[in-house]
Chain A
Amino acid sequence: MKQLRRSTLLLLLALSLAAMFWACSEDPSNVASPEPENDLLAAVQAHQEEFEQAIAIHNRAVPGILSTKGIVGTAVGADDNGMPVIRIYTSGPIAKGPLPQDVGGLPIVIEETGEIKAYKGPGGGGGGGSSGQAPQSPPVKMGTSGGWRFDLANGFCCGGTLGSLVQKGGTKYVLSNYHVLYADIVNGGNSRTAQPGDPVIQPGLIDVQCNANNSLNIASLVANGGTLPDPGNPDAVDAAIASVTSGMVDETGAILNVGTISASTRSATVGLAVKKMGRTTGLTRSTISGINGAFSIQYENECAGGASFVQSYSGQIVISNRRCNFQNGGDSGSLLVEDVTTNPRAVGLCFAGSVTCNNSAIAIANPIGDVLSKLGATMVGQ
């Protein structure tokens, strides 16, 4: 029911936006009569399922769409037959090259709206403190935007969060998710796959207009650095490591807005206060609402790519994520830690969550014990 309302709200917003643009036009011939609009509303209501799917696809694609220079906004809208389309708003004429042909199979409608400015409002970006999206000077702290240097395909670029540092055999590695660093497994839209030795950058492509020249190479992919797919393993984790480039990363393992963490870990319990520092929502706090979670998660085979595999998980940590205020797209790879001031212990590795941002939205984390066991690593900390 909540999804239905959200879909309707989004639809009405889309229709309102369309109406606003018509109303703003100085050409009176563009003012639509009420009757076709009512027909359109009825047609859209008849395609509720399609709109719910479109909203989920759109939510996933928004960071990539907005990272293209000249694009100032995007929304789910409706075509003349009441079917969903992705509307992309641009500041001016834009060459077709940077734009995708479709988003997850949904047609794209380009509208030149000009620049869109806020009238007045609070500062944006995250839950406070240093931005997780900003470029850093080396040595880079964790809890920051990052990704595979070549994570650009199908007209989009992708990225996530470089969450923390781990070590094994005396070597230090950036810890993030498989789907942030290693998920490009088909030549597909960029004629390459993620390979050992490829650079990991800060910030990720999504924060540098898809231009890796504006980022720093801070680590490198390694052989067997990603833990998925892992069929049939009840202790599967969505984890990845990349070896730290000397001098480029703060090797104390300090996380932006969190500071140093403990080298030891703790298990999750329902009601435990937790926090995380991520690229999108910044430093945020919540509580663990569930444990022993079982989920099946669909993965893509490259940035904005096709379906790759479904991974089953058990023993997962569930975190309250009301209206996606705790975690949202781009926060994957964040380290979930207990909410204490000094040297918090790691609890989990954030990797998935609700794409519908309602009051019951949840975030999911792999238990950190499973992550470290799979990698044969320990946390870097005090």
Chain B
Amino acid sequence: MKTIEAIIAERAGAWLKLDGVVGIYEGIAADGAPVIRVAVTKETPALAARISTEAGGYRVEVVVTGPIEPM
């Protein structure tokens, strides 16, 4: 199984092209398992259909962070 970092590196480019996706990062779920988090501006059916719930053996969670900008 590839590292979660490698999976993020593989998938980030494609996911960031999806309208509404602003970032992808590695986190830890409440149960302690490593997860891939996909940061989105808002949850939409279109995004839900395009983002898988699993990638490379790792769980994928969608997080509604809103737009990301320089602060």
Contacts and interface: CB of A to CB of B under 8 A. Distances in A.
B49 interface: no
B12 A294 contact: yes
Q: Which of B22, B37, B70 has the most CB of A within 10 A?
A: B70
Given A2-B64, A3-B42, A270-B26, A314 B9 contact: yes
Interface of A: 1-4, 52, 56, 60, 160, 177, 179, 238, 270-271, 289-299, 312, 314, 316, 318, 327-332, 350-358, 360-364
B12 A363 contact: no
Contacts of A3: 41-42, 64, 66
A358 B41 CA distance: 11
B71 A350 contact: yes
B55 interface: no
B26 A56 contact: no
Given A291-B25, A292-B25, A314-B12, A355 B42 contact: no
A9 B19 CA distance: 25
A316 B67 contact: no
Interface string B1-32: 00011001100110010000011111110000
B71 A330 contact: yes
Nearest to A315: B5
A356 B28 contact: no
B65 interface: yes
Contacts of B22: 295-296
Contacts of A332: 70-71
B71 A56 contact: no
A291 B26 contact: yes
Contacts of A350: 71
Nearest to B44: A1
Q: Which of B22, B43, B65 has the most CB of A within 10 A?
A: B65
A294 B23 contact: yes
Given A292-B8, A350-B71, A362-B39, A270 B64 contact: no
Contacts of B27: 270, 289-290, 318
> Which 9 pairs, one residue from A and one from B, show the smallest C-beta to C-beta distance?
A356-B66, A293-B25, A294-B12, A290-B25, A295-B23, A332-B71, A292-B26, A290-B27, A179-B70
A350 B71 CA distance: 8
Contacts of B47: none
A54 B42 CA distance: 15
Contact of B16 (A296, A352, A355): A296
Contact of A293 (B24, B41, B66, B71): B24
Contacts of A364: 23, 68
16 contacts: A3-B42, A179-B70, A270-B27, A291-B25, A294-B16, A294-B23, A314-B9, A318-B23, A352-B71, A354-B65, A355-B67, A356-B66, A357-B66, A358-B66, A360-B65, A364-B68
Contact of B70 (A2, A328, A351): A351
A177 B70 CA distance: 9
